[in-house]
Amino acid sequence: MSAQPSCLIVGAGMAGLTAASALSAGGWQVTVVDKGRGVGGRMATRRIGDARFDHGAQFFTVRDPKFQEQVELWVGRGWVAPWFEDGGHVRNMVIGGMSQLAKHLAAPLNVRTGVKLSEVRPLGRGWKATSDTGESFDADALLLTAPPEQSLALLGDCAGGLADGVVAELQAVDFDPCFALMVLLNGPSQVPEPGYFRPESGPLEWLADNSRKGVSAGLSSALTVHATGDFSRLNFDRPTDEVASQLLAAAAPWLGSSVESWQLHRWKYAKPVAGTWPGSLFSQTPSRVAFAGDGLAGGRVEGAFISGLAAARSLKY
Ligand SMILES: Cc1cc2nc3c(=O)[nH]c(=O)nc-3n(C[C@H](O)[C@H](O)[C@H](O)COP(=O)(O)OP(=O)(O)OC[C@H]3O[C@@H](n4cnc5c(N)ncnc54)[C@H](O)[C@@H]3O)c2cc1C
């Protein structure tokens, strides 16, 4: 490796940005690429007109002391605030919407959005990555934070050169999909304070009123409706209109006002439901590569943070 080692990180979600910050602080030259239009991955916020919807992660909890320390820093900067408490755990929200935290974290880093990698191959003692538009990126080390199935697809045949056990750990990860329906209402919703409801049965897992949450301003209400993993898996390939009608019908008791418009997002890899949760994975062969992401750490924003830190540490040694 050169005097200032370089790392290419695939994914500008919580895992990738956390690893990028740690490696940059350690003197690495880091490039982060993400296929999305913006940063944040599943910490996602979408605008419809003036309304704003958190349509991926809704909040995050804190259990690990390192994450606690980090969250306290974010709270001190006015980026994060408690939303509500449930079962003894504070649910934290991001001021301005979940993706805003990723924007803060990405600001001092070298991040390229709208870059979808289609192939990564070992090159000399490092890696060469190629995007679907033919742009190439060289680095001494590679860090993959996409869901494991996608990372394995990027590696193609060279996954066979990874250290023993790594492929098996990656293949053990299974994700539930999730439909996220964003509903714009012309008045107040029936979602109770402080802006969320968890139905106990039916196709819905979660409803949130982004206006009550404080993420969306204005007179309209911005509702996020998440379907359960079972419903989403069973209906994933059905036409958008059919899925949306069924979810809107199920959400009717909480709407309270007329629907102005809606958009449906299909999260193919929403939450990991099976895996061995190693935290992160590292292989010295076929060239120095680490894997991170919530799929290796039991899901959740906190898992992605811990995983990103662990992967950065594994690359340093
Ligand atoms: C509907 C939903 C609700 C959730 N609710 C909660 C919650 O309330 N609390 C909680 O803690 N967690 C929740 N989660 C989980 C949480 O969002 C994730 O654990 C966390 O955001 C994962 O971060 P990550 O960095 O591991 O992955 P991601 O955020 O998925 O980042 C991976 C990135 O890799 C990029 N990428 C993939 N392939 C390529 C490629 N070929 N080229 C370039 N870029 C690529 C993707 O675009 C993506 O941005 C929820 C998730 C969903 C979907």
Same domain, 168 and 178: no
Tell whether 69 is covered by a domain: no
262 beta partners = 183
Torsional sign, CA 268, 272, 275, 276 = positive
Quick check: CB of 203 below 6 Å from ligand 1? no
Quick check: CB of 33 below 6 Å from ligand 1? yes
Domain that holds residue 233: 174-273
Assigned token pair, 9 = 């990180």
Same domain, 280 and 194: no
Q: What pLDDT band is residue 109 in, cutting at 50, 70 and 90?
A: very high
Residue nearest to atom 20 of ligand 1 (CA): 301
Cα 110 to ligand 1 centre (Å): 19
Same domain, 168 and 179: no
Quick check: CB of 5 below 6 Å from ligand 1? no
pTM reported for the whole predicted model: 0.98
Same domain, 39 and 185: no
Cα 291 to ligand 1 centre (Å): 14
Same domain, 184 and 259: yes
Same domain, 167 and 210: no
Cβ 93 vs Cβ 204: under 8 Å:
no
Tell whether 250 is covered by a domain: yes
Alpha-carbon distance 273 to 94, whole Å?
25
Quick check: CB of 57 below 6 Å from ligand 1? yes
Q: What pLDDT band is residue 210 in, cutting at 50, 70 and 90?
A: very high
Ligand 1: nearest atom to the Cα of 39: 49
Mean pLDDT of 108-127: 97
Tell whether 75 is covered by a domain: no
Residue nearest to atom 31 of ligand 1 (CA): 13
Q: What is the CATH number of the domain that holds 116?
A: 3.50.50.60
Q: What is the pLDDT of residues 53-106, one digit of tens each?
A: 999 999 999 999 999 999 999 999 999 999 999 989 999 999 999 999 999 999
Assigned token pair, 114 = 């709208």
Residues in the chain: 317
Q: What pLDDT band is residue 317 in, cutting at 50, 70 and 90?
A: low
Cα 29 to ligand 1 centre (Å): 24
Tell whether 145 is covered by a domain: yes
Residue nearest to atom 21 of ligand 1 (CA): 42
Coil, strand or helix: which one is 111? strand
Cβ 196 vs Cβ 208: under 8 Å:
yes
Dihedrals φ, ψ of 115, to 5°?
Answer: -115, 110
Cα 42 to ligand 1 centre (Å): 3
Quick check: CB of 15 below 6 Å from ligand 1? yes
Ligand 1: nearest atom to the Cα of 17: 25
Please state the three-class secondary structure of 149-217 as a single string: HHHHHHHHHHHHHCCCCHHHHHHCCEEEEEEEEEEEECCCCCCCCCCEECCCCCCEEEEEEHHHHCCCC
Give the pLDDT confidence score for residue 218 in this predicted structure.
81
Q: What is the CATH number of the domain that holds 186?
A: 3.90.660.10
Same domain, 111 and 240: no
Same domain, 115 and 254: no
DSSP characters over 136-152: EEEESEEEE-S-HHHHH
Same domain, 33 and 131: yes
Tell whether 76 is covered by a domain: no
Same domain, 225 and 158: no
Name the nearest CA neighbour of 217 among 209, 205, 227: 209
- Helices vs. strands in the chain: H and E counts, helices first: 9, 18
Q: What is the pLDDT of residues 218-271, one digit of tens each?
A: 878 999 999 999 999 999 999 999 999 999 999 999 999 999 999 999 999 999
Alpha-carbon distance 307 to 280, whole Å?
5
Q: How many CA atoms lie within 13 A of 213 on its CB side?
A: 31
107 beta partners = none
Cβ 162 vs Cβ 286: under 8 Å:
yes
Same domain, 183 and 163: no
Q: How many domains does the chain have?
A: 2
Same domain, 161 and 35: yes
Residue 2 has pLDDT above 70, yes or no: no
